[in-house]
Amino acid sequence: MMENQENNRRKFIVSSVQSVGLMTVGGVLLGGYATKAKSSPMVLRPPAAIKEEDFLTACVKCGLCAEACRNRDSNIDRSTGKAKKSTLKIAKAGDERLIGTPYFVPRDIPCYMCPDIPCVPVCPSGALDIKSVLNKKNELDINKAKMGLAVVDRESCVAFWGIQCDACYRACPLLDKAITLEYQKNERTGKHAYLLPIVHSDACTGCGLCEKACVTEKPAIFVLPRDIAQGKVGSHYVKGWDVKDQERVKDAQVFESKTGINKGSALDYLNSKDEF
């Protein structure tokens, strides 16, 4: 009797120690994963998502946005009558994104720019800011979304080789606004023209329809978060031709050059060099 009690007690102690050990290891692994997930800057969020660091705090991981995306009227498979896979995914372990948060991968399923933006109004926490996608008439306007910015890799884009391709241009829902085609003479052949895709950041929503349509094996046009895709000029640079930018610095302190190099005209400066 006493021997059985002793064995049971030993088993209980061993089991408890093992459980504590597993919980500790699990906590360390989960903590490491969460840190890795939070540090991944390449994630694309739904329309109207607030700044990433604020989004991670605000998002309650309810999944309502992804559910609304999947169940939207335009996402029905006509052959089966059922909803297809949605643009928005919910991150799970191994996705290198914070578990439970929504994201999308344009090459898999881009954002189809639903006019009623069903994923945004259902957000209960403000992680998706509906005000950011309202126009002057206080109506939902998907064209105001800034999910990311399309970037063209000129070395792998076949249009820059001289091969005629306008797949991304034709796929863009904001035709001749977010992507335009620039014509340039092909000096290599002397008789053909390049049709070069040019992305305009002020109009691009980051929907990824261009990335999905790209004909290359790995897309030569792809969407990145805007913080990564764009540089930052700095407030000390001023657009001399922009009235609003001039107004911004009207009270700034002006420093005059003492070198005298700016006293002459631009032509005087250019003509002051030796002629060859």
User: What are 157's two structure tokens?
Assistant: 């884009």
Confidence band, pLDDT 50/70/90 cuts, at residue 189: confident
Tokens of 201: 């950041």
pTM of the model: 0.75
| Least confident interval from 171-175, 229-233, 263-267 | 263-267
The count of other CB atoms within 10 Å of the CB of residue 122 is: 17
pLDDT tens for 199-219 read 999 999 999 999 999 999 999
Domain ranges of the chain: 38-145, 148-229
Q: List the single range of 65-69, 127-131, 193-197 with lowest mean pLDDT.
A: 193-197
Q: Tens of pLDDT along 234-255?
A: 888 888 888 888 888 887 777 6
Average pLDDT over residues 44-62: 96
Ramachandran region, residue 109 (left: φ > 0; alpha: ψ -120 to 50; beta: rest): beta
Q: CA nearest 44: which of 98, 105, 100, 124?
A: 105
| Residue 28 CB partners (closer than 8 Å, separation 6+) | none
Mean pLDDT of 107-136: 97
Greater confidence (9 vs 42) lies with: 42
Fold assignment, 148-229 = Alpha-Beta Plaits (3.30.70)
> Is residue 125 over pLDDT 80?
yes
Is the CB of residue 61 less than 8 Å from the CB of residue 100?
yes
Residue with the bigger pLDDT between 134 and 271: it is 134
The CA distance from 64 to 69, in Å, is 9
Reported as a pLDDT band with limits 50, 70 and 90, residue 94 is confident
Do residues 23 and 15 make contact, with C-beta atoms less than 8 angstroms apart? Answer: no
Dihedral angle at the C-alpha atoms of 203, 204, 207, 213, nearest 10 degrees? 120
pLDDT greater than 60 at residue 5? no
